[in-house]
Structure 1
Amino acid sequence: MISNYIKIALRNLTRSRGYSLINISGLAVGISVTMLIGLWLYDELSYNRHHKNYEHIAQVYQHQTFNDVVSTSMTMPMPLGTELKANYKSDFKHVVMAWWPMNHILSIDDHKTSQSGTFMDGEGLEMFSFNMLKGTLTSLKDPASIVLSESCARAIFGDQDPIDKMLKIDNTLDVRVTGVYQEFPSNSKLNNIHFVSTWDFWVTSNPWMKVQEHNWNNNGYSIFVEIQPTTTFEAVSEKIKDIKVSKISKEQAAREKPQVFLNPMSRWHLYSVWKDGQAAGGRIELVWLFGIIGTFVLLLACINFMNLSTARSEKRAKEVGIRKSVGSVRTQLISQFLGESLVVVVISFIIALAIVTGVLPWFNTISEKRIDMPWTNLYFWLVSVAFILITGLLSGSYPALYLSSFQPVKVLKGTFKAGRFASVPRKILVVTQFTISIALILGTIIVYQQVQHAKNRPIGYDRQGLIMIRKTAPEFWGKFEVIRNELKASGAIVDMAESSSPATEIWFNFTGFNWKGKDPNLQDDFATMAVTHDFGKTMGWTFIRGRDFSREFSTDSAGIVLNEAAAEYMGLEDPVDEEITWNGRKYTVIGVIKNMIMDSPYSPVKQTVFYLSYNDTVWINIRINPEMSAHDALAKIEKVFQNLLPAVPFEFKFTDQEYALKFAAEERIGALAGIFATLAIFISCMGLFGMASFVAEQRRKEIGIRKIMGASVLNLWKMLSAEFLVLVGVSCLIGLPIAAHLLDQWLQQFEYRTTISLLALIGAVGGALLITLLTVSFQTVKASMANPVKSLRSE
C-alpha cells in the first residue's frame, strides 16, 4: 500500500510539473533557511558547553551604585582573589586570577610572532578543560612556564617538538614551554587564547601590578571560579556578596553599596547585558528573533503547499470520488495525501541539504561563525527525521482533511463545486504569508536605518588616515621623539602622538575629582586618557573653548582638556582656567573640545578628562600624509619602525576599521534579517505566482467572454490583480502595527536611536504592493492576452 501511495504521489508530481516545481522549490528554500538558522542557534546555545565543568564555572562580578544608578562589572580588585582562596575553600574547587587576553610578542632567537594570550593561575588549565596534546594539566606549576595552542606552537617551532624550549614574551620575559593544547572551538570564550603563562609570573614581572595586591579600590582584574558540586551559585553568591564592604571605607561602602556575586558560565554569552543591577538580555534576544524567523519562513513554505493543494482540489475530486465509491475509507485517503506531502518534503529536504552545503561558507562569512555540516552527528539525523515528519504533517494536514471530505455522489455526477467560501481559507493563508513578509521588510529597513543613524553621528575627530600602534615591548619606551622625527622627515605622516587608550575605546575610569560648585552628594565618575603633545592635532580635535596642549607652556603638565560632556557634567558655564582637583593634585582646565565618540556610538558620550603624560601611554597614534597613498606611507612607516625597533613586529590598526567594528553586530543582524526577509518574500511570491496562475486558469472562459464583449487587456489585468492587492493590503494593516511595536521595543535598548518613520512604513507597504503586482502580472497579462476562441472552445 505504501509503495502504491508513493507511485501515485510521484505520478501527480510529474503530471503537474509547474505546481510541483513551485511546491518543491518553495519548501526547499524554506527548509534551507530553517536549517541554517537551526545550525546557527545550535552554535549559540552550545557556547562554552564543551567545558567539562560547564555547570560549575562562573566569573566573579560586582554591582556598584553611582548616583542611584546600579552598574554591573566583571572587573575586580586583585586582593579579592586572595580572599576567596583563603577564607572560602569549602565553597570553591578552583579560584583563578586572570589577566585580560591581548596580543604579546613571542620570540625565539630572531623568529618573532604576535599572538593573543593571557596569564592565569595554573589550575585554570584543569578548570577550563584544556585538551593537552603535550604536557599535562599541571604544566603551569612552574611560574616561568608557558603552554601554547597547537597553531601557535606550529607558527613558532614548525614541526619541532616545542617542549622545554625557551621563549621570550615581549622581548623581556623568559619562559619555558611545558605544554601544547588543542585549539578551543569558535563558540568558546577562550577561542582566541593561543598561549597561557602564569599569573604569579606576570604579577612579579610588573611592579605596577605588584603594588595592587592589597588595593581594594582598583577594579582592573578578572577572577574565575569553579564551585564545589555540593553547593550552588546562589548559595555562594549570598555568602560573598558583602566581602568588599568590610575592606573599603564605611563612607565608600555606604555610597557605592558594592555587592559581589557569581555569574555562571551558562549566562556569559547569551545574557551579557545588565541594567540597574539586573540581567537585561543580550544575544538571547537574537536567538529568539532568528528562531521565530526560521519558524515563520518554514510556515510560509507550508502555506504554499496548503494553498496550491486545496486550490487544485477540483482536479483531484474525481479521483477521491472513485476511490470512495470502490471502498476507500477517509483514513486511507488522508494517509495517501499525507504520504504525498511527505514525499514532497523528503525531495525538498534532499535539495535543501545540497543548498545548505553550498551556501554554508558564505553564511559563515556573513554571520562570523565557523559552522560545519554535522554529517556524522546522530542527533542531527534524528532531528532531521522528526523535522521531515512534522513538516510533512503540518503542510499536508489541511489538504488531506479537505480533499478526503468530498462526497463521491456529487463528484461523480459532476455537480461538485468548491463553494463560495472555499477560497476563504486560502485567502487567510495568503494574508498570513504577507503579514510575515511585510514585518520582515519593515524590520530590515529599521535595522538598516538604526545602523546608518549611528554611523552618521558626528564622532568629534577625523578617523580617516589615522592608524594606531600598541606599544607591546620595552623597546618602545623613550623613543617617542626619535620615531616621530624620523617619520616626519620621511614625509609619510602629518603628525604623531601617544595615548593611554586607543581612540575607539575607554580603558580607564576614575573618581576623586573636585571642582567649584560640585554637589557634595554627587559621586563623580570620569573617563580619563593620558595623551602627549600634538594628540589633538593628530586626532583632529575641534575646540569649543580654550586651546590644546602646547610645548610652549611648561604649566600644561598641570593642565587638562575636557570634552563637552565633562563641562556639562560639572555644571561649568565657562570652564577654561577653572581649577580641578584630582586625588589631591590641582589641575587647570585649558580647553574644551567637542565630544569624541570613544565607546558605543549608540550611547551618550561619557564625561572625559584628557591630561598630559609621557609615562602612562601605551598607544601610538599616527596621522598619515593625505597627499601620499596609504600603501606608500605605510611602507615608509614600517621601514622606520624596523630600523629603530628591529626586535618588534610592525603591527597597526586603522582607526576607521576599528570604529566600524562597533557596528558589526547590528550590521550582521541587518544582513541576516535582510537575507531571510528576501527568501521569505521569494517563498511568498512563489505561492502567489501559483495562485495567480490557478485563478487565471479557473477564470479563462470568463476572460474569453469579457474580451469578446470588448474588455481591454488593462481592464482584465486590473480585475485579476485587484483580489491579490486587497489581500496584501489587509496584510499591511495587520503586519505593520505588530512589526512597529516589536521594532520599537528593540530600539529601546539604544540610547542613541532612530525612530520608525512614516517613510519606512510607506516603503514597506509600497514594496509589498509592488512585489505583488510584479508577481501576479505575468500570469494575469498572459491570461488577458490569450486567444478567446481557444478559451471558449468546448471540450
Structure 2
Amino acid sequence: MIKNYFKIAYRNLVRNKVYSFINIVGLATGMAVAIMIGLWMQDELTYNQFHKNHQKIAQVYQSQTFNGVIGTGSAIPRPLEMTLRNEFADNFKHIIMSSWNYRGILTKGDTKLVKNGNFMQDGAADMLSLEILNGQAHGVQDPNSILLNASTAKALFGKENPVGQVVKLNNLYNMKVTGVYADVPSNSSFGTLDFLAPWSHLTTNTEWIKNSVDSWGNNSFQLFVQLSENATMGGVTAKIKDIKKRIKDTAPYKPELFLHPMDDWYLQSRFENGVSIGGRIQYVWLFGTIGGFVLLLACINFMNLSTARSEKRAREVGIRKSVGSQKRQLIFQFLSESFLVVSLAFVLALAMVLVFLSPFNTLSDKSIEFPWTSLWFWVSILAFVFVTALLSGSYPALYLSSFQPVKVLKGTFKAGRFAALPRKVLVVMQFTVSVALIIGTILVFRQIQYSKNRPVGYDRNGLVQIPLTEHDFEGKYDLMRSEFIKSGSVIEMSSSSSPTTDVYSNRSGFIWEGKPEGFQEDLAYTAVSVDFVKSLGLKIIAGRDFSREFATDSNAVILNKTAVKYMGLTNPVGTIIKDDDEEDPNPPMTVIGVIDDMIMQSPYEPVKQSMYVFDKFNNASYYNLRLNPAQNSSESMKVVEDVYKKHFPDLPFQFQFVDQEYAAKFAAEERIGKLAGVFTGLAVLISCLGLFGLASFMAEQRTKEVGVRKVLGASVMSLWGLLSKDFVQLVLISLLLAVPVSWYGMHQWLQKYTYHIEVSWWVFVVAGAGAIAITLLTVSFQAIKAALMNPVESLRSE
C-alpha cells in the first residue's frame, strides 16, 4: 500500500510540473537557508567548546564605580594572582596570569613572521586543552622558551623538527622551542594563538611589569582560572568579589570581582552598569528566528498550492471514499506526497548548501565545514525533514481528506466562498514576514552608514600607522621622522602610545582646581610626540599644540572637548593638573590646549574624556605618518617601506591604513547586515514563488471568465487589474501588520546604540512600495498571459 501511495504521489508530481517545480524549489530554498543558519548557529553556540574544560574555565572581571556609573572589564591588577593563590587555592585547579594578545616577530634564519601570541603562566596549555604534537607543554617554565602552533612551526622550520631549536622573538630574545601544539579552531577565543611564551619572560625583561607586583591600582593584566571539581562559578565569585575593597587605594571605586565563564565570553560579552545585557547571543536568536520564518514561508507555499488545487483532486477523493477508502488512508496518501516533495527538496537543499557553503563562509567570516561524519547532524536532519513534511503537508491532508464523496460525484461540490480564506491568511502571513525583514534590513544598513559617516575628529585619508616592536625603535624617532619626511612621500609624522583607533591606557588619581569633592575621574590617557595634532589633522579649539620651542611642554597636557566638560573646566587653558599620589607624585601638568573630540574607540558610543600628554619617557607604540596627498598612496608606501628597511633591515615591514582599521570596527555589524539582506532576499523569492503559483492557478481557474469578458470588450489592462487586485489587497493588509511590528522591533534594537538613526516614515513607504511592485511583477506574467489568450480557445468547450 505504501508503494502505491508513493507511486500516485510521483504521478501527481509529474502531471503538474509547474506546481511541482515551485513546491520543490521553494521548499529546497527554505530548507537550505534553515540548514546554513543552523550550521552558523551551531558554530556560534559551540564557541570555545573546543576546550575540554570550558565549563570550568573563567576570566576574572571587575566592576568599578565612577561617579555613580558602574564600568565592567577584564583588566585586573597583578597582585590579585598571589591573593587567590594564598587565600583561595582550594577553589582552583589553575590560576594563570596572562598578557593581552601580543603581536610579535618570530625569526628563524631568513624567515621572519609576524604572529599573534600570549605570555602566560605554566599550566596554560593544560587549562586550554592544547594538543601537544611534539615536545612538552611544561617547557614554558623557562623564561626563554616558547611553544608554537603547528602552522607557525611549519612556516618557520618546514619539515625539520622544531623542538630544541631556537627562534628569535622581536629580533631581541632567543627563545628555545620546547613544544608544538595543534592549531586552535577559529571558533575559540584563542583561535589566533600562534605562539605561547612564558609569563616569566615578561616579568624578567619588562621593568614596569616587574615593578607592578604590589600595585593594586595598575589594572593592566588578564587573569584566567580553572575551577576545581567541587567549586562553582557563583560560589567562588561570592568568595572573591570583595578582595579589592580591602585595599585603601581602590576602595573609593567600590571594586567587585567576579568570574566570567568561558562559555559566556563570546555570546554574553556586553555589560551595562555592572550587569550582563547579552551581546552576540542576540544575533544568534535573530538568525534562528529568520531561519524558522524562511522555512515557514516555503511550507506555506506548499499548503497554498495544495489546497488551491483541491477542486482538481475532489473527484479523486470522492471515488476513493466511495470504494471504501477511510479518511486515515487518504491522510496518509496526501502526507506521502508531502514526504516525497520534502525528500526531493531536501536532496536539492543539500546540493545548494554544498555549493554555497564556501561563499557563505566568506560572507559570515566563518570556517564552517559540512558535518558529514556527525551522527548528531544526521539525526537532526532526519527529524528536520520529518517535521517539515508534517508542517507543510498536514493542513492539505486534513483539508482534502474531508471532502464529502456524494457532493463531489454528483457535481454539486463547491469549494465555498470562504474556502480561499486560509490561503489568503497564509499569503498575508508570508508578506508580513517578508516586509518586516525588508524594513529591518534597510534600517540595519542605515544605522551602519550613519555610524560610518559620523565625524571622527581627524583626517583618516592618507594616514598610516606603523606598530613599534619592543626596543627596536627606541631613540630613533627624530631620525625616522627626518628620513620619512625627506623622502617626499610623508609630509608629517608623530608617535603615540596608543593607535589612532584605540585607547591602551586609562588613568585616574588627578587633582585640579575646582574638582568636585568625591569626584572619581576616569580619563583615557595617551602619550604623544610634538607633531601628533598636526599629523592627525586634529582641530584645536582653544590654546595651542605641543611645541619644540617650549621646554615646559614636557609637562604639558592637551584635553579633548569632552574632558573639559567632564572635569567642569570653564577656562581650561592654563589649568594645573596634579598627581594625587603623595608618596611618588609626578610633576604637575599644565593644560596648553583643547582639541575637538576624536573617535578612538567604539563609533557607536560617546567619545571618552581624553588627555594627551607629552611623551617624555619614549613610551611610543606607533608611528603616525601623513602621506603626501600629491602622490599615489601605493607609490608612497613603497618609498616608506624602502626607508623603513634601510634602518630596520631585520624587521618585517608592518603598517596599517587608519581608514581600514576604522572600517574594521563595523565588520561584525556589516556581516550581520549582509547576511540579513541575503536571507531577506531569499524570503522574498520564496514568497514570490508562492504568488507565482497561486497566480498561475487563478488564471487557469478563470480562463473562461476572461474569455467572456474579452468577447464583451474588456481591455487587456482591465483584465490585468482584475486578476492582480486580489493579491495587491493581501499585500496591503500585510503592510498594515508588518509596519507596527517592525517599527517596535527595530526601535528596541536601535536603543542599544548611543548614537543611532531615527526610524523614518519613508523606510516603511519604500518597503511597502517595493512589496507591491514585487507582487505586481510576480503576478503580472500570468495575468497578462491570461488576458492575451484568444477567447475562442478558452470558450471552445462551452
For normalisation by structure 2, the TM-score amounts to: 0.98
Q: Give 2:723's aligned residue.
A: 720
Q: Is the 8 A contact 1:473 1:648 kept in 2?
A: no
After TM superposition, give the deviation of residue 144 of structure 1 in Å: 2.1
Paired amino acid for 1:451: I
Decide which moves more: 512-521 or 484-493.
512-521
Q: Give, in whole Å, the separation in 2 of the partners of 1:613 and 1:63.
A: 30
Q: Is the 8 A contact 1:78 1:214 kept in 2?
A: yes
Decide which moves more: 32-41 or 473-482.
473-482
C-alpha offsets along residues 345-378 of structure 1, whole Å, 9 cap, x if unaligned?
1111111111111111111111100001111111
1:221 aligned onto 2:221: yes
Q: Is the 8 A contact 2:137 2:147 kept in 1?
A: no
Decide which moves more: 166-175 or 758-767.
166-175
Q: Give 1:343's aligned residue.
A: 340
**Residues 523-602 of structure 1 mapped to structure 2, 5 A cutoff:** 523-583=520-580, 584=585, 585-602=587-604
After TM superposition, give the deviation of residue 473 of structure 1 in Å: 3.4
Q: Give, in whole Å, the separation in 2 of the partners of 1:472 and 1:529.
A: 18
Q: Is the 8 A contact 1:216 1:248 kept in 2?
A: no
Q: Give 1:630's aligned residue.
A: 633
1:451 aligned onto 2:448: yes
After TM superposition, give the deviation of residue 581 of structure 1 in Å: 2.3
Q: Is the 8 A contact 1:451 1:666 kept in 2?
A: yes
Q: Is the 8 A contact 1:171 1:473 kept in 2?
A: no
After TM superposition, give the deviation of residue 203 of structure 1 in Å: 1.1
Decide which moves more: 774-783 or 679-688.
774-783
1:679 aligned onto 2:682: yes
C-alpha offsets along residues 589-630 of structure 1, whole Å, 9 cap, x if unaligned?
221111101111111111111111141211111111111111
Q: Give, in whole Å, the separation in 2 of the partners of 1:474 and 1:589.
A: 30
Q: Give, in whole Å, the separation in 2 of the partners of 1:136 and 1:26.
A: 54
After TM superposition, give the deviation of residue 514 of structure 1 in Å: 2.3
Q: Give, in whole Å, the separation in 1 of the partners of 2:134 and 2:780.
A: 68
1:509 aligned onto 2:506: yes
Q: Give 1:92's aligned residue.
A: 92
C-alpha offsets along residues 626-661 of structure 1, whole Å, 9 cap, x if unaligned?
111112111111111111011211111110000001
Q: Give 1:154's aligned residue.
A: 154
Q: Give, in whole Å, the separation in 2 of the partners of 1:509 and 1:143.
A: 29
Q: Give 1:663's aligned residue.
A: 666
SS at match of 1:224: strand
Given candidates 640, 651, 656, the residue that maps to 1:653 is 656
Q: Give, in whole Å, the separation in 2 of the partners of 1:191 and 1:570.
A: 41
Q: Give, in whole Å, the separation in 2 of the partners of 1:264 and 1:576.
A: 46
Q: Give, in whole Å, the separation in 1 of the partners of 2:784 and 2:503.
A: 62
Q: Give 1:367's aligned residue.
A: 364
SS at match of 1:627: coil
C-alpha offsets along residues 275-294 of structure 1, whole Å, 9 cap, x if unaligned?
11111010110111000000
After TM superposition, give the deviation of residue 701 of structure 1 in Å: 1.3
After TM superposition, give the deviation of residue 20 of structure 1 in Å: 0.6
Q: Give, in whole Å, the separation in 2 of the partners of 1:247 and 1:395.
A: 65
Q: Give, in whole Å, the separation in 1 of the partners of 2:760 and 2:361.
A: 33
- Aligned length in residues: 792
**Residues 53-202 of structure 1 mapped to structure 2, 5 A cutoff:** 53-202=53-202
SS at match of 1:162: coil
After TM superposition, give the deviation of residue 430 of structure 1 in Å: 0.2
Q: Give 2:32's aligned residue.
A: 32
1:762 aligned onto 2:759: no
Paired amino acid for 1:329: Q
Q: Give, in whole Å, the separation in 2 of the partners of 1:135 and 1:163.
A: 6
Q: Give, in whole Å, the separation in 2 of the partners of 1:769 and 1:695.
A: 19
Structure 1 portions without partners, runs of 5+? none
Q: Is the 8 A contact 2:166 2:175 kept in 1?
A: yes
SS at match of 1:752: coil
Q: Give, in whole Å, the separation in 1 of the partners of 2:399 and 2:432.
A: 24
C-alpha offsets along residues 302-322 of structure 1, whole Å, 9 cap, x if unaligned?
000000000000111111111
Structure 2 portions without partners, runs of 5+? none
Q: Give, in whole Å, the separation in 2 of the partners of 1:490 and 1:726.
A: 69
Q: Give 1:290's aligned residue.
A: 287
Query: 4+ residue runs of structure 1 moved beyond 6 angstroms?
Result: none
Q: Is the 8 A contact 2:137 2:178 kept in 1?
A: no
Q: Is the 8 A contact 2:334 2:396 kept in 1?
A: yes
Q: Give, in whole Å, the separation in 1 of the partners of 2:201 and 2:570.
A: 50
Decide which moves more: 573-582 or 295-304.
573-582
1:793 aligned onto 2:793: no
After TM superposition, give the deviation of residue 580 of structure 1 in Å: 2.4
Q: Give 1:266's aligned residue.
A: 263
Give the CA RMSD over aligned residues.
Answer: 1.1
Decide which moves more: 512-521 or 682-691.
512-521
SS at match of 2:137: coil
Q: Give, in whole Å, the separation in 1 of the partners of 2:701 and 2:288.
A: 38
Q: Give, in whole Å, the separation in 2 of the partners of 1:320 and 1:595.
A: 75
1:705 aligned onto 2:673: no
Q: Give, in whole Å, the separation in 2 of the partners of 1:670 and 1:524.
A: 37
After TM superposition, give the deviation of residue 429 of structure 1 in Å: 0.2
Q: Give, in whole Å, the separation in 1 of the partners of 2:357 and 2:368.
A: 8
Q: Give, in whole Å, the separation in 2 of the partners of 1:141 and 1:71.
A: 35
Q: Give, in whole Å, the separation in 1 of the partners of 2:451 and 2:444.
A: 11
1:745 aligned onto 2:745: no
Paired amino acid for 1:609: M
Q: Give, in whole Å, the separation in 2 of the partners of 1:310 and 1:155.
A: 62
Q: Is the 8 A contact 2:26 2:301 kept in 1?
A: yes
SS at match of 2:196: strand
